[in-house]
Amino acid sequence: EDVSVTTPLLDTKIFRKDTYVSVTTPLLDTAATMPCKSTTTPERPLFGDAQRHYMHLPIGAQKPCVYVYSSWEDRAYRLHHANMLDTIAQMFVCEPSTYEFIAFAEKKVKASNLTLLDKKRLTMCKQELESMTEVAGGILEPKRRSLTVKEMMLEVQKIKKKLRFLVEEPQHTLPDVFVCLVSNNKRLAYARIPARHLLFSQSPEQRGRDCGKINTLFLQPPGKRGPGWTVQAKLDVYLWLGISRDSSHMLDNLPSGFELQGISSEHRTGPPPDYLLYTEQHLFQLRAHMYQARGLIAADNTGLSDPFAWVSFLSNSQSTGIIKQTLTPTWNQLILINNVCLYGGLYEIVQDPPLVVIEVYDDDAVGIEYLGSTVAVPVVKLSEERYSPPQLQYSPLFCGSLSGGDILGAFELIQNSKSGEHTLPDLDEPDGGVIPVPSYIRPVLCKYRIEVLFWGLRELKKVQLLSVDRPQVFIKCAGGGVNSSVIQSYKKNPNFTILVDAFDVELPEDEHLLPPLTITVVDWRAFGRSTLVGSHMINNLALFKHIPTFIQQPQPEPRNIAGNKHINTHLPIYYDCQTLHQCQVSKKSKRRSSKRKKRTTADESADNVIDWWSKYYASIEKIQLKKEINYKSVIEQPGIVTLQVKCVITMLGLPANIVYTINKDLSIKWMCSFTCQSLQVYDKELEAEFGPFDDWVKTFELYRGKANEEEGSADERFVGKFKGRFCLYKLPESEEGEEDGYLDSGQFKIIQGIPPNTAVDVLIRVYIVAAFNLHPADPDGKADPYIVLKLGKTEIKDRDNYIPKQLNPVFGRSFEFQATFPKESLLTILIYDYDTVGGDDLIGETQIDLENRFYSRHRATCGLPTEYAIEGYNAWRDCIKPTDLLIKLCKENRLDNPHFSPGRITIGNKVFTGKTVFADEDQLVESYEHLALKVLQRWSEMPNGGCKLVPEHIETRALYLKDKPGIDQGHLQMWVDIFPMDMPHPGPPVDISPRKPKGYELRIIIWNTEDVILEDTNFITGQQSSDIYIKGWLKGLEDDSQETDVHYNSLTGEGNFNWRFVFPFNYLPAEKVVVIQKRESILSLDKTEQKIPAVLVMQVWDFERLSSDDFLGSVELDLHGFPRGAKSAKACRMEMLTESTENVSIFQQKRSKGWWPFIKAGELTGKVEAEFHLVTAEEAEKNPVGRARKEPEPLEKPNRPDTSFSWFMNPFKCFFHLIWGNYKKYIIAGLVLLIVTLFLVLIFYTLPGAISSKIVNG
């Protein structure tokens, strides 16, 4: 259909010199009867300010109209559907009621002439909307489990992301609209508006969001944007796009007060008018209160700028003053623009006033440099309204895609009074020609104190080719500031000698208007010279506001301590689990000490002591179980949730008030796996779980140089880190030491709980467990990774222990070394690829700030285990015991010392109860370590400084390359232990060396087969038979496949073999995998290690002498759990492989004998009688057996039928059994008949001669 684009230009435009405005759209097909006017009349622009910075077109009250006609295929319904989805997304974002959103999403869409792709996309959108309505309706569902606010936000973000994805229409039905700026037939700048946003429809939900509205367009130059790019022009345009029959609606939403020119009323349905003449106009005054800015882009090499701002409104523009060398300028300037003429009705002006454009530039000796721009909506105040001052607000600046900071200002558009009398408050007196922001608009200031903790500087880079040696920090905020002491030798001690200082400053009472704080680091060099090292800006100073310590009245101790349900909820469940686990254990075993080493019950043959890897895999299984649990929205009947299920839920740490559905067999299975302790396995960095451990000091990154949008620019500008802390609090007007219910507990509030920053010697243990998803570094798509550790000048290369041909290596390496904080505090773990020729390639690296972990209140030095043990795989590895640690934490947090009494630990008004008497070798021993550990695990419940302590854990850290920022090169599972050297020496490091596979030998005797299908047919007799043999191997060890001899000519499917398979293999009992080491090719220097499940494959084949053998069937048995064999061939069925409820493990049972079915294409093709016997490599060496029927322990030859032979090797035997046996009477009768026939032939042959001879001879 015919489509038209109409564009009346409503207001004057601000743009660069010597240009004029032209609006056009792509014109593909123009009808002769439909003229087009796609460009405005050229006009000479005029300067709009005394500084001759901008020019504008003097359009005035006469607004030109341009329009384009073109013909396109009628596929507008696609854009209508996209607009409906966009409307749904807008409704969801604008927080509608749930039912309103669901009702609108369920509206039926109508369209005709749909293509196949349209129908498929429409179906997909409907399905997605139905899914989203269910999710949206269930977020606040009362029967559903309660979601936290964070979980609700994640659900909402997912729905919003899906909606935005559905909005984008993949088929471009109509071309986009282009508005271009042209001068001398040269296109200078343009703006592109999607056609979907301008498309008109009678239905409001299908209409484009910008259709029939005045939009402000910022034009950009064509081609790739240069480094000095700015806004080329600003246009205020009214755009309408629709089909020709709807053209009568094109001017419906224009502001009132205009007259149509160049068109008569009877031709209203024809082409648009040449221009609109506005007769209603109003005069206004614009007041731009430019107070300050924060977080501006650094434009100078010093990392600072000389910023000033340009304020543009319609055809007028003015600038603020220039503030030298700062990123946080405070202009405090009022910009007045008088006699601004606005056209249209007052209602439209109040509802949609023109935008104010603010641009920020950096002033240089050679010109100006663009730093960013933003727009603001002025507050319109009519002459008859009572004046009320506007509020200052921050507006974000953007330089392309780069954030350019924020501007704090207020903008008001005041209508001029017709009487000439002004009721506005008086302005302040100009200061040097600059009018300051009125006092009634400026923030209300109060006296604050900012305390600064100077801890130290880290990772300072060279400045001007020289190392930083004597740095100093300058803190500035709102005209005030303080300086740190000068570090005399950065290499020897990067910490400051004077920790705390403070300064008073006047700041706004409103936290949202707090000015930024600037951190500047300089280096003092010879002859009193100072060089800027770097700077950092804190935009949100409210983060450091001091929270006073409230005075709490001591509460009387409750009489019934045992009745405290909040304290004792965990312990009864814990004891129930212990009772369940020990219910079938003898009385003597119940009294064993927890310090005795436990042995596994999962693999009786292995007789292995449970080690750290058992703990690791139990933790992995615990995470998998959490994923398998199904949350239910209905309440289950009483009694369904068994004690086993409750214990599993408790061990998993799941909420007890939620109802779960867990398979009873599954719960018992996992109860068995929980016989050993577990640890916390985080799928991310420890900092992502507990924060960056900056609860004691914050780390601020320092930058230097010019900022830009290029990738890696921030890394290039990075010059170091400042470690410190700030404390902001309002100074009391009175001198009372106590007010508002809190205490001032010292001269400096910031120093509380801060340790001394002297050098500390520590012992560091780094445990590298494994890595996964490493980026390939070799041409064959594999890597040979090894570990490198760097800490200060210490470097450990583990090159000799590289793991060949692995992208998921299990390192199992631990490293121990000493270090001194703060000189050696940044630990770097690098993963390299081993290369025989040439240098090794870096796969990725990760860095850990050990100093932050050492001083953090979360105590990230050594994780807390779940249970206390003296020795064994779960032995306590910290340098102090739980009771001593509990006393130490109480002292550091200024809490009462813990009081230990039988079965109870009391800290203030907190009482923790638990077991404190244990049986050890038939003696009762009192120990508070177990209960103290439980208290430490619940340390977050403690008042005044309580926080969650880091548990025993494994963290997963992403590996990165500096050349590829933001792209992880794999993940590393590890943890770090830190012990101070002035404390007792900890125990030996945890042994996490990889388990060595244990040698096993699987002996299989193939006795017989039954009911094997018969594939061959005798061409003489027509009898069916098969030449049966069995082939077997372990998966992954196909090179060691073995097969029996052939049972020839089986007529009934029965086969007799008495044949032994012997499969030696290496096996890891804990991981339940077979370890295979072999070279991938002849050219491979190292063997590649693979871990695969232990699966036995047996197949039955039909032997063919002249062609390939025929496959008859197979069976795969998982050696960890396969169906128990049937006792007879008749009882062996195909369903036993899938419906069997009794599975056996050859690793537990050692021997198994029975019948198992062969299956091919879902049909039973035979049965095999086999006997399995599993022995260890040591047992196999002591009692060897031969393969097949060989020595030692040979097997007897089977008693096969006489018909079992090869016709090719025994032709006479084949004749005797196959022909004589079946046709014996016919052969005898034939022979007799042949003899009689020969006799008769001889008689008849010789009788005539004899008679003749007798007659002749007489």
Helix, strand or coil for residue 669?
A: helix
pLDDT at 760 over 90: yes
- In the chain, the amino acid numbered 377 is V
pLDDT at 593 over 80: no
Handedness of CA 899, 901, 905, 909 (dihedral sign): negative
CB 569 within 8 A of CB 646: no
Which is nearest to 843 in space by CA: 965, 970, 757, 738?
Answer: 970
> What confidence tier does 832 reach under pLDDT thresholds 50, 70, 90?
very high
Question: What residue ranges do the domains of the chain occupy?
Answer: 2-72+175-278, 76-167, 281-415, 445-550+708-739, 561-679, 998-1182, 1210-1258
> What confidence tier does 776 reach under pLDDT thresholds 50, 70, 90?
very high
Locate 1163 and state its tokens: 């049909």
Q: What is the Cα Rg of the chain in Å? A: 44
Half-sphere exposure of 149 (CA within 13 A, CB side): 0
How high is the pLDDT of residue 300? 82
pLDDT at 268 over 70: no
Q: Looking at residues 190-214, what average pLDDT do you find? A: 89
1083 or 905, greater pLDDT: 905
CB 489 within 8 A of CB 469: yes
CB 1032 within 8 A of CB 1061: yes
Q: How many CB atoms lie within 10 A of CB 901?
A: 11
- Going by DSSP bridges, is the β-strand pair 379-381/402-415 parallel, antiparallel, or unpaired? parallel
> CATH for 998-1182, among 3.40.50.980, 3.30.70.260, 2.60.40.150, 3.40.50.970?
2.60.40.150
Distance set, CA 296 to CA 398, 442, 706 (Å): 10, 21, 11
Task: Write the secondary structure of 919-983 as one string of H (helix), E (strand) and C (coil).
Answer: EECCEEEECCHHHHHHHHHCHHHCCCCCCCCCECEEEEEECEECCECCCCCCEEEEEEEEEECCC
Which is nearest to 509 in space by CA: 450, 451, 448, 446?
Answer: 446
How high is the pLDDT of residue 140? 64
CATH class of the domain comprising 281-415: mainly beta
- In CATH, the number for domain 445-550+708-739 is 2.60.40.150
Question: What percentage of residues in the chain have a pLDDT greater than 70?
Answer: 80
How high is the pLDDT of residue 635? 36
pLDDT at 640 over 70: no
* Residue 1028 phi, psi dihedral angles, 5° rounding: -90, 140
* Cα–Cα distance for residue pair 1235/461, rounded to 1 Å: 118
Which is nearest to 273 in space by CA: 282, 284, 285, 264?
Answer: 264
With 0-12 CB in 10 A as exposed, 13-18 as middle and 19+ as buried, what is 1023? middle
* Cα–Cα distance for residue pair 534/218, rounded to 1 Å: 35
Beta bridge partners of 787: 831
Element (H, E) at 85: helix 76-93
* Model confidence pLDDT, tens digit, residues 1144-1161: 999 999 999 999 999 999
- Residue showing tokens 């439980």: 934
From its phi and psi, is residue 339 left (phi > 0), alpha (psi between -120 and 50) or beta? Answer: left
Indicate the Cα dihedral angle 102, 107, 108, 110, nearest 10°.
Answer: -140
Q: Looking at residues 147-172, what average pLDDT do you find? A: 80
Element (H, E) at 566: helix 565-568
* Cα–Cα distance for residue pair 1048/1204, rounded to 1 Å: 5
How high is the pLDDT of residue 355? 92
Q: Looking at residues 325-341, what average pLDDT do you find? A: 90
> What confidence tier does 111 reach under pLDDT thresholds 50, 70, 90?
low
Interacting residues of 395 by C-beta distance below 8 A, sequence separation 6+: 358, 374, 375, 376, 406, 407, 409
First to last CA, the chain: 132
> What confidence tier does 127 reach under pLDDT thresholds 50, 70, 90?
confident
pLDDT at 623 over 60: yes
* Residue 795 phi, psi dihedral angles, 5° rounding: -140, 130
* Residue 6 phi, psi dihedral angles, 5° rounding: -120, 135
* Cα–Cα distance for residue pair 726/696, rounded to 1 Å: 11
Q: How many CB atoms lie within 10 A of CB 316?
A: 19
Give the DSSP letter of residue 254. S
Which is nearest to 244 in space by CA: 298, 306, 200, 179?
Answer: 200
> What confidence tier does 684 reach under pLDDT thresholds 50, 70, 90?
very high
* Model confidence pLDDT, tens digit, residues 697-731: 999 999 988 777 665 567 788 999 999 999 999 98
How high is the pLDDT of residue 992? 93
Which is nearest to 1066 in space by CA: 1004, 1003, 996?
Answer: 996
> What confidence tier does 568 reach under pLDDT thresholds 50, 70, 90?
very low
How high is the pLDDT of residue 408? 93
- Give the pTM: 0.76
CB 1043 within 8 A of CB 1032: yes
* Cα–Cα distance for residue pair 47/58, rounded to 1 Å: 10
* Model confidence pLDDT, tens digit, residues 779-829: 888 899 999 999 999 999 999 999 998 999 999 999 999 999 999 999 999
Least confident of 13-22, 456-465, 737-746, 830-839: 13-22
Q: Looking at residues 465-493, what average pLDDT do you find? A: 93
Half-sphere exposure of 360 (CA within 13 A, CB side): 33
Locate 609 and state its tokens: 């002591």
Q: Looking at residues 446-450, what average pLDDT do you find? A: 93
Interacting residues of 217 by C-beta distance below 8 A, sequence separation 6+: 179, 191, 193, 234, 235, 236, 237
Mean pLDDT score across all residues of the chain: 81
* Cα–Cα distance for residue pair 212/78, rounded to 1 Å: 20
How high is the pLDDT of residue 364? 86
Distance set, CA 618 to CA 673, 677, 1091 (Å): 6, 7, 18
* Cα–Cα distance for residue pair 1211/730, rounded to 1 Å: 112
Give the DSSP letter of residue 123. H
* Model confidence pLDDT, tens digit, residues 501-515: 999 999 998 888 888
Q: Looking at residues 400-420, what average pLDDT do you find? A: 86
Q: Looking at residues 1098-1104, what average pLDDT do you find? A: 93
CB 1028 within 8 A of CB 1012: yes
